[in-house]
Structure formats: structure tokens, C-alpha cells
Amino acid sequence: MDPLDLHPLHLRSSGTSLLLAFHTGEAQIVHWGADLGEALPDLKLLAAPVPHSALDTPVIGGLLPQASSGWLGRPGLRGHRSEAGTPGFGFSPALRVVSADSDGGNTAVVLQTDPDAGIEVRTTVRLNPGGLLELSHTLTNTGATPYQLEELGLVLPVPGDAVELLDLTGRWCRENHPQRHPITQGTWVRSGRHGRTGHDSSLLVAAGTAGFANRSGRVWAVHFGWSGNHEQYLDTLGEGRRMLGAAELLGSGEIVLAPGAAYTTPVLYAAYSEHGLDGVTERFYDWFRARPQHVRTQDSAGGSGKARPVVLNTWEAVYFDHRIEPLIELAESAAELGVERFVLDDGWFRGRRDDHAGLGDWYVDEAVWPEGLTPLIDAVTSRGMEFGLWVEPEMVNLDTDVARAHPDWIVGPAAASHKDGGRLPLEWRNQHIIDLANPQAWQYIYDRIDALLRENNIAYLKWDQNRDLTEHGHHGRPSVHEQTLAAYRLFDALKAAHPQVEIESCSSGGARVDLGILQRTDRVWASDCNDALERQTIQRWTQAVLPPELVGAHVGPTHSHTTGRTHSITFRAITALFGHFGMEWDIRQATDHERAVLRRTIGVYKQHRGLLHSGVRVNADLGEPNLRLHGVVAQDRSEALFAAVVMASLASEMPGRVGVPGLDPERTYRVEAIMPTAEDVGESPYVQIAPPGWLDGGLTASGRFLAEVGLPLPVLRPEHALLLKVTAV
């Protein structure tokens, strides 16, 4: 079929439209944003004007931007061939549409080819029922010689009224903090060369109208679902057009496609919202929760798996001090509080008395566990709890049997193993990386973890990855791409063999949090920081994309191990409630008062986890930057939980009245403060002579009143929180 005769493809769902046109001979996205309705004009009349001192025909910003169509910004495809040993040939493709098909619903497949360049690109576009867009390319080498791929980007146009850009950044123990700035001419780029997603990676890149906020403004946002090296960018040309995109960041010569071979990009996920960032969040939550493998979020029968159990992790309780008697005491203490999953962290395997040795020798240490893990597992399961175990399968210490026996399994930049003079990357936490692109190494790791799961009653793996993949090579060539895919295969194979086992993605905390890894894991560890003040920001922005049931949130010790701060038990408990709740603390040392608050919080969590893990996340827009109000509202708006949080001292003497967002304006609600109660309070969280009138007895008002007039909040001390229960009456 002549591409000029192809009809436009219009995908519509949940207030979002994506319009693909082909009348120029090239596929281009004419619109991604608000729903356009059914009536469309003649798209040929939307051709851009031709200004002076420019190409003589309108420039096309295609589905894959190309210089052959006049695009002067960042190209969508970069690559070349060698002829007679000389590289650089076929550097500028002219891809044109061959076919464009729709399934009659919300999926389109577009095929573009350049026979002269020997390249074919098949693009899949899917607009999910909740409005989340998925975009990916597959490039096939149809030529007779190898094709070296340098970059294959995924881009979406954003309109000129998107004038501000928000992204996230961070570091170890301070992941996912926002930064925003005006959009100006040029190319803004965020590069991630960690070999993993990265502590500083942006989970979300959002372009929006002036002043867009939590609940207002139009927003176009993307997430790149990949756990390896990547770039995210906004390309703004001098002629005014903008492309928001991402691509895998490939090493030199990393992808060389033989004739007939293909490369598929990771998926770019994209959300449009007319109601600020919370609308973007709702798109992502709908997509996650519609997946067949998604964790169950209710306490009723059905679903895949079980409701999110209360967790106790042993790391900040015992560290490497693994002795059966204290661990059984810890299990007894946990069971008495109502814990449902007990996780033994680092230190259980051969030679692992500190972080200098042991990684790679995945055998239970007979010196520490002469009877294996069975006595502890039995002590845990006999008390009604599941048993979980920490592993780090992708890493290796040099002081291990496996490293001594197989030096060629250790990743390095040289073709020779370090034993034969090959240089190793710098160490990180005294460890290196197992080359999973080596089939023998991959099989060894699979066999060891598979054996652990077959020989022990393990319901959960905390799967860590504690270093960047610097100078990562296989046989002397860069191989982050191969390593990432091999790691995915490892997760997938173990999941297939042990479907009942849940897996957490941990990577020094939040350095591997993305939708690529979450296709094969059941939750993430958002940060190694359990400081509740830091966690307020980390969890808010991690949950801008990930629903709370996928985000581990633990009550840490009174004195934070990573920041040195001390926080009240109620502040720590309320913070951890808004996630997959747990504890990481030697709770044997907790005071009677702290244990009473923990027991009460666990009861609140168990009562409301169905709401917390299925509802709509809302974040109020407040003028005071140190005051926050966030919550979860039930899908039918019959109930909600909110937390009012004072992050630091307020500019005003009183916080004033705060509107409660997300409720049904026509319904009547009862609002009650449920934490802290008089029994919860050791030192009072308030700085006031008298509380606001509603605080002790509650308040009944309409959703409209609560949103527009709001509630006068008590004067909370800095770094304290108030938990509110809202129920329709």
C-alpha cells in the first residue's frame, strides 16, 4: 500500500489521545495529550510553514526523528556499517512507512524501512485502559553486512505550553528528590552510566505548564523501564518543537547486529494528566494494578499472592552477628508484635563475617549454622511467620572459593582474567561483579539460588546489588546490555521455578528502581535510609510512579544508623504506614512504650492495608513548604487515610486550615485523628496550649467543605506527624 493512502491511527483511553499520521510518507505523532474526541480534520492541512533560510519543505519530527526528513535535533537512530574495513557508511537512514496496523483497540504497530540502508524498524505503541502509554522499537538489520548500533531513541512530542521540567535525582540514602527548572532552547540530558538504574536516576521526567503542581496544571511525563545504562532528555529546537525521550546508553561497539539480527529497545512509559502530578501517578497505578502478576492488595480471597505482610528485617538489628539464640529471641519478639514475615539479612553464607569475603559462595555457613538454616526457619514458621533471606547473586568477593576457582567469571575491562594479568575495575564495598553473560557463571548462580530455595522453606528473597557496574566488560568488550538482560533472565528463571517466592529489588537501597526490574520482582527497597524525615521525601517521589504496596517502608531504630537523627516512635511509625510496612530494628531493645505504639501501628496497618494498597494517592498543594498533607483515598471515595507532616519549623506560628483533597464533594465524612493518641505519646508532639476543637472528638463535614474550607491543624513540633482517618457517613 502507498503510505500516502494510510489512514491516521487514533488511540484513545481515559482522557488521553495519541494520534499517528503517515501522509508525509513517514510516521509522526501529531498529538499526545488531551482526548481529541472522534472528529478529526484533514491532517495534511497541519503541515508546518516553511520559513526563510531553511529547508524548502516542511521539517518532519517523526516517530523516529531523522536528518533525512530535515530534523536538526537529536536523531532517533544513530549507527553505521563498515565497508572494506572503513566505518561510517549508512550513517543517515531515510526510514519510510511500509505498514501501519491497529488491533482495533489501543495498540498500533508501525513498520518503517530503508532498503538502501538495510534497516527495518517496527514500532509498537500501546495506550492502556488507564491512559498509560507504552512505546518501543525493534530494529532489524536487513542488510548483508553487520550494522553497529549506537543509539535507538524513543521520543514523544510535547507542546509549547510545557514550559517547566521536573525530574528526580539523589544519592545513596537520599534517593528520588525533585528538581525543576524552566525549559529553554537546547538539549537537556540526564545520563546514567552506573550499569544499574542508579541512585541519581530520574524515576520520572515531567514537562508541564507554568506552575504545575500536585493537583493542578497539564503534565506530560515519561519513565524509562530499563535497569542498565541510559539517557533521558528533552530536545528543544530553535524552531520551537520539543521531544521528550530516552534511550539505552550503549558502549562503544556494544551492539553489532549481524545480518538478520534485531535489537529491541526497553519500553518508554508515558502519562498525560490535566490534573497535575497526581494525575500522572494515577495512570501508573492503574497500569501496575492491572498486571496479572501484581501483588494482592486486599485481605480477601483471590488475586496473585497474599496481602502485603508486616516485615521484620534483621540488618539493623544484628548486622553480621548471626547467632541462633539472639535471632530466635528476635523472632519471638516479632511474632508477639504481629509480624508476618521475618527476613534474615546479610551474613548467613560461607565466610561472611564482614563485607570482605563470601559473596559468590552461596552455601549456608556450616561454622555458624551447623544444622543449616532449618532451626531458625522452624522457629520463625512455627510462630506463624514466613521466612525470607538476603542474597546478592550478581556480585563476588575475591576472597571466595568461586573467585579462586573461576577468575574468568569476574567482570573486567580486559579480555584476559585478572589471574592472567587482566585489570579489574576498582572495588566497591570490597566486591566485584559476576559475569552473567558467561553461560557457565550464569548457570552456577542459578543452580545455587535454586538449591537454596528447594532445600529451605523460603518465601521471600531480598535480592541486593551493592555496586555500580564500572568498566563492565565481557571478553574485553562493553557488556552492560548483556549483563542486564542476563540478570533479567536469572530473575525470570528463578520466578518460573519458584512462583510462590516473592523477590524484592534492593540495590544499595534505591539504585535499581525501574519498571524493567519491576516486571520480575514484587517490591523495591526505596532506600537504605530508615530516617523517617528523609523517608518522607523519598517515599513521596518514589510513589509518584510506584504504588505503595511495591515500596518497602520500615520503622528504623530510634537513633538513625545513616543520619544520626533521633525521631519519635509515632513519627517513624506513621511514615512507614504509607508503603509496604515493616521494621528494621532490634525490637528486643524497644521500650514498653515503643512496643505499645508498634503493636498499635501494626493493627492500624492490618486494618487499612487494603485501602493503602488499592486506593488513589493524593498530595495536597500547600503554600507552606515545610508542611505536607498526603494520603490514600479509596477508589469509591468511601474512606481515606491522611498524614499531616511538619518537616521543619513553619514560617507561621500556626499551620492554619488545610484543605483535604480527593474526597467526593457531595458526600459527608467523619474525620478523626487516630495517631498519636494519648497512649501513644511519650513526649507531646504539639506546641500549643489548646488543640483545635475537632482534634479530640472528630468532625463531620462534606467533602466540599473539607476541600475548600479545610481543617485547622494542631501546632505540631518539627519532624512529627498526625494520622487522620476519613470515613463517609
- Does residue 510 surpass a pLDDT of 50? yes
- Letter string b/e over residues 159-175, b meaning 16 or more CB atoms within 10 A of that residue's CB: beebebbbbbbbeebbb
- DSSP conformation class of 373: T
pLDDT band at residue 342 using 50, 70 and 90 as cut-offs: very high
- Does residue 287 surpass a pLDDT of 50? yes
573 phi and psi, to 5 degrees? Answer: -70, -45
> Poorest-confidence range of 49-63, 450-464, 633-647, 697-711?
49-63
> Poorest-confidence range of 292-301, 384-393, 675-684, 689-698?
292-301
Nearest to 66 by CA among 116, 114, 3, 133: 114
Q: Which domains does the chain have, with CATH numbers?
A: 3-290 (2.70.98.60), 311-409+440-609 (3.20.20.70), 618-728 (2.60.40.1180)
Grid cell at residue 145: 553486512
- Does residue 714 surpass a pLDDT of 60? yes
Q: In angstroms, how far is the first alpha carbon of the chain from the final one?
A: 61
d(CA 338, CA 161): 52
Percent of the chain at pLDDT > 90 equals 92
d(CA 617, CA 207): 20
Query: What is the C-alpha radius of gyration for the chain, rounded to an integer number of angstroms?
Result: 27
pLDDT band at residue 653 using 50, 70 and 90 as cut-offs: very high
Percent of the chain at pLDDT > 70 equals 98
Residue 17: C-alpha distances to residues 32, 33, 447 (Å): 6, 6, 47
pLDDT digits (tens, 9 = 90+) for 493-505: 999 999 999 999 9
- Does residue 212 surpass a pLDDT of 60? yes
User: Which amino acid type is present at position 445?
Assistant: I
What local confidence, expressed as pLDDT, does residue 2 receive?
61
User: Which amino acid type is present at position 456?
Assistant: N
Grid cell at residue 631: 494520603
Beta strands in 237-367 (DSSP E): 242-248, 255-257, 262-264, 267-273, 311-313, 341-344
Nearest 5°: the CA angle 574, 577, 583 is: 95
pLDDT digits (tens, 9 = 90+) for 416-447: 888 888 899 999 999 999 999 999 999 999 99
d(CA 360, CA 383): 31
pLDDT band at residue 302 using 50, 70 and 90 as cut-offs: very low
| Mean pLDDT of the region 203-215 | 98
- Does residue 299 surpass a pLDDT of 70? no
d(CA 376, CA 458): 11
pLDDT digits (tens, 9 = 90+) for 440-491: 999 999 999 999 999 999 999 999 999 999 999 999 999 999 999 999 999 9
pLDDT band at residue 550 using 50, 70 and 90 as cut-offs: very high
- Does residue 303 surpass a pLDDT of 70? no
| Mean pLDDT of the region 48-73 | 92
| Mean pLDDT of the region 719-726 | 97
User: Which amino acid type is present at position 649?
Assistant: S
> Cβ neighbours of residue 540 under 8 Å, at least 6 residues apart?
619, 628, 630
| Mean pLDDT of the region 51-61 | 91
- Does residue 362 surpass a pLDDT of 70? yes
State the SS3 of 538-587: HHHHHCCCCCHHHEEEEECCCECCCCCCECCHHHHHHHHHCCEEEECCCH
What local confidence, expressed as pLDDT, does residue 298 receive?
61
> Cβ neighbours of residue 429 under 8 Å, at least 6 residues apart?
355, 466, 467
pLDDT digits (tens, 9 = 90+) for 118-177: 999 999 999 999 999 999 999 999 999 999 999 999 999 999 999 999 999 999 999 999
Q: Which helix (H) or strand (E) holds 468?
A: none
pLDDT band at residue 682 using 50, 70 and 90 as cut-offs: low
- Does residue 381 surpass a pLDDT of 90? yes
- Does residue 333 surpass a pLDDT of 60? yes
- Does residue 524 surpass a pLDDT of 60? yes
Residues with a known catalytic role? 464, 528
